[in-house]
Structure 1
Amino acid sequence: MTIDSADSAARRTVRAYHEARFRGDVTTAAAQIGEGFSFRSPFITSDSPTGHLDGLDGLLGIVTGVELISELYSETEATLLYDVHTTPAVGITQHTAEHFHLRDGRITSITLIFDSAPWQAIMSALTALPTSEVETLSGE
């Protein structure tokens, strides 16, 4: 399969963002964001290049791995499909789709799609736990 230069530029940008985000590197992830950015997910709506990354450390504290299943690219759009694996204490493998719009080699919007029901139950349970038990779940 041949990827033209526009598609490969989109791939470089999206993969740099994706990999940086799951490393916890907010600076590198945000560097892939362009003007007029917007982010939408079941839990967060943000127009800030870094606002959607707030709390990333908490998520990464329970993530044990990310398995990329599929990636599709064009000059102005990209879609990633991946599984997010969490610690055994959390016990979620989250099937996730992420759709990107790009302009001038930068990400201008991200729509993150996943079933939020398992996370709602966990977030409700976590708010009822003492801090020491929350730290135990995240492996701290």
Structure 2
Amino acid sequence: MTENTSPALDIALAYHRAWTGKDFERAMTYVAEDIVCAAPPGLIEGAEAFRGFMGPFTQILTGSTLIAAFGDAETALLMYDTETVPVASAPGAEHLTVRNGKITHLRIIFDRAPFDAARAARSAS
């Protein structure tokens, strides 16, 4: 993993360590009340809506490997691979904007294909 420290990267990594470490409540302390999150299911606005989106994922998470992390004063980019109950490898990336120590904007990109395949396999059996 490549890691360069910066104010936004410090917050992004703390957030990432918290949610991947099964401390979602701590992760939420880094999230602004008015967060805007662009994710594959669509636009998610506000901390409570974000909690409803991200919380269930953290419940099926069994592991995570941070591949790379970069940042500057207000933005950070993380790339990682996650292991979940239904899927052994689910790569993802996050672009985060941080202002006043809180994540105000988050764009999440992840490969849905492994989850779709796992659902199809469960349906077939």
Structure 2: tracts of 5 or more residues without a match: none
One-letter amino acid of the structure 2 residue matched with residue 29 of structure 1: A
Identity %: 28
Does the residue aligned with 1:18 lie in a helix, a strand or coil? helix
Distance 2:107 2:118 in 1: 22
Which TM-score applies when normalising by structure 2? Answer: 0.77
* Residue 59, structure 1, aligned to residue 57, structure 2: yes
Distance in 1, matches of 2:29 and 2:121, equals 35
Greater relative contact order (CA < 8 Å, ≥ 6 in sequence) = 2
> 1:66, 1:83 within 8 Å by CA — same for their partners in 2?
yes
Query: Contact conserved, 2:67 with 2:80, CA < 8 A, in 1?
Result: yes
Report runs of 4+ in structure 1 exceeding 6 Å deviation. Answer: none
Bigger Rg over Cα: 1
In the alignment of these two chains, the number of paired residues is 121
Letter in 1 for 2:61: V
Conserved? CA contact 1:72–1:79, under 8 Å: yes
In the alignment, what sits opposite 2:111?
115
* Aligned pairs (5 A) from 1:23-62: 23-34=21-32, 36-54=34-52, 56=54, 58-62=56-60
Deviation readout 1:65-107 (Å, 9 max, x if unpaired)? 10001000100100000000234xx243011111101122221
Q: 1:36 to 1:57 in 2, by over 3 A?
A: closer
Q: 2:20, 2:36 → 1: CA distance?
A: 19
Instruction: Write 1 or 2 for the structure with the bigger share of strand.
Output: 2
Distance 1:55 1:105, change over 3 A: closer
Q: Which runs of 5+ in 1 are unaligned?
A: 129-140
Q: Which amino acid aligns with 1:103?
A: R
Residue number in structure 1 paired with 2:100 = 104
Question: Structure 1: how far apart are the matches of 2:95 and 2:58?
Answer: 21
